[in-house]
Amino acid sequence: MLQKQSNTEELTGNSLFKNCRANSATLIGTIHLDISAYKNLMDLLTQIRPDCIAVEISPFSVAYRKKHQKYWTDRLEKVKKGLPAEKRGHFRIELLFRQLKMPFEWETACLYARQNSIPCTAIDCGEISKKELPLWEKELINESNLLLATSEPDQPIDQYFLRHYRQALRSLAGQDTPWNKPVKLVFDHQWCKREKILASRLLSLSLKYENVVYIGGWMHLVQGPKIFSLANLARMAVKERFLVTGRSVHKL
């Protein structure tokens, strides 16, 4: 839900967001669940050669997923067998399977960090994951939800991500977005609070490291007047922004 933001200047003017190392952070936006982006993301990290990686995931989510993801995916396979045969290969089933596993952004970042002996940090707050993850078994992994999810026409999963890739490019270029309307709009209070946490943690890392990379969903990279986003809040530290998909690496 969107709402008017009347005090953007007040919030972004906080001294917290001015205390950073200039041009020390590279922001990499992804389309969540697009696991085909793994190689391009790893190649970009190799090109940038960061000395620290920050990822849009919370420590709670990492720990909870490690404990539950095998059970979740095994349960999904079991429930899927009860569906009509023509629905078992539906792209929504594959998307849910990916959602239940550790995000590829975190796994890619951790692999690069291990190979290069640098820190990899989960910098998101845990408020959302603490509320949502414990409900997944009951609300997502059941036959009625799978039947509902697969009630829409099937499509190649590549086409699904291509549509989102095009939307991301338009939004990051400032085209066809809610923010272009005459009344400037931003996300709700929870979004603003989360962006401030992400930005403050990223900027704290920028004081300790000279070349920090942030990896997260592309919406956090949108910039522009009165847009309340990580990219705007941390703009003093931002050096470059990229959108990474399975198809390409797009420098913004």
Q: Minimal CA–CA distance to 56: which of 163, 111, 129, 114?
A: 129
What DSSP string runs through 16-77?
GGG-S-TT-EEEEEE-TT-GGGHHHHHHHHHHH--SEEEESS-HHHHHHHHHHHHHHHHHHH
Residues 90-131: tens digit of each pLDDT = 999 999 999 999 999 999 999 999 999 999 999 999 999 999
What is the average pLDDT value for the chain, to the nearest integer?
A: 89
Predicted local distance difference test score (pLDDT) of residue 15: 55
Q: What DSSP character marks residue 241?
A: E
Residues 51-85: tens digit of each pLDDT = 999 999 999 999 999 999 999 999 999 999 999 99
Phi, psi angles (nearest 5°) of residue 53:
-125, 130
Predicted local distance difference test score (pLDDT) of residue 6: 36
Task: Please give the model's pTM, rounded to 2 decimal places.
Answer: 0.90
Any residues with CB less than 8 A from the CB of 163 and at least 6 apart, and which?
A: none
